[in-house]
Structure 1
Amino acid sequence: MAANYEPIYGLSEDENETRVLRVKVIAGMDLAKKDIIGASDPYVKLSLYVADENKELALIQTKTIKKTLNPKWNEEFYFRVCPQNHRLLFEVFDENRLYGRLRSQLIVSWVAFWMQTVAYKTTRPLSVWEMA
């Protein structure tokens, strides 16, 4: 369960067949230059979707890291998900721009990845996904 009473986004506890997924946004590397001085003010948006309906269940974002192309967020988020029915979208944006992503979006599909990890009961991360 989430330590320090962190909020859990997504489905309610009453839903059947749900699991708590811990996501840690670690860092970005060599992001695109988006302002005159050659830096960016990046942040990451995380959107939890129902896979077949394209319905957004939760939208959260990291803090903005100022003037860098290699941000380090080290932020954890918790989602209550149904592994077969949800997907998580990561998008990196520049705070000073209304449009345009710094990098392509990363969509995590649960079917293959989740099935490899749900069988294990552990408090340590089983896999690290770096946004590069």
Structure 2
Amino acid sequence: MDKQNLLGLLRLHIKRGINLAIRDYKTSDPYIIVTMGRHKLKTRVVKKNLNPEWNEELTLSMFTLDEPILLNVYDKDHITNDDPMGDAEIDIKPYVECLKLAAELERLPDGCALKKIQPSSNNCLSSESCCTWHEGKIVQDMVLKLRNVECGELVVQLEWVNIPGSKGLAAA
């Protein structure tokens, strides 16, 4: 890992899917591929479930804040190619704005909302998202509406992890 250019780590807590599309006979076997630049991470496959609970943490090394984070949902097939089940993009800029306030937040009560982000044509949010001060960290909970598919949403949480010796967000 090139710590000289590393800003920090972004932990994505992939919680669950809601009302995902049917791609097999009555159900699907969904998994998610998270892509940012040349980084690619994958969740496990949840068999026969349109409302899967992943509860997985995937961690991206952040060298830039300009690349979008893409989440592509697929249905695992054993004989044919995996079927696409929609995609979503995470815009981390509102979250990063909250992170830059962190030094001033130490005195805030747990659960205090710092910023609310509204759904728009510029993001994949299906409902209002909040950056929250939680146990000494800033997290952002979001429900993402999947694109390029008839239905489905993903519940995701972002959490920034500072790494000793990395540039940090001040350099971004």
Moved more, 118-127 or 84-93: 118-127
User: Which residue does the alignment assign to 1:34?
Assistant: 23
CA distance in 2 between counterparts of 1:119 and 1:80 reads 21
Kept after mapping to 2: 8 A contact 1:32/1:102: yes
Matched, 1:71 2:52: yes
1:129 match: 142
Answer whether contact 2:76 2:83 (CA < 8 A) is retained: no
The residue that corresponds to 2:2 in the other structure is: 12
Name the aligned partner's letter for residue 92 of structure 1.
Answer: V
Shift of 1:89: 0.5
Matched residues in 2 for 1:74 and 1:124: separation? 19
Contact 1:83–1:111 (CA<8 Å) still a contact in 2?
Answer: no
More moved, 119-128 vs 81-90: 119-128
Q: Where do 5+ consecutive residues of structure 2 fail to align?
A: 104-134, 145-152, 154-172
Q: Percent identity?
A: 21
Aligned length: 112
Deviation at 1:84, TM superposition (A): 3.0
Structure (1/2) with the larger strand percentage:
2
Give the structure with higher Rg (CA).
2
Cα distance in 1 between the residues matched to 2:82 and 2:42: 16
TM, length-normalised to structure 1: 0.72
SS in structure 1 at match of 2:142: coil
TM-score (norm 2): 0.57
Runs of 4+ in 1 over 3 A off after TM superposition: 121-125
Letter in 2 for 1:62: T
For 2:100 and 2:46, the matched residues in 1 are separated by 32
Correspondence 1:1-132 to 2 at 5 A: 12-15=2-5, 18-36=7-25, 38-49=26-37, 57-96=38-77, 98=81, 100-103=83-86, 105-120=87-102, 124=137, 126-131=139-144, 132=153
Measure, in 2, the Cα distance between the counterparts of 1:44 and 1:23. Answer: 12
Segments of structure 1 that go 5 or more residues without pairing to the other structure are 1-10, 50-56
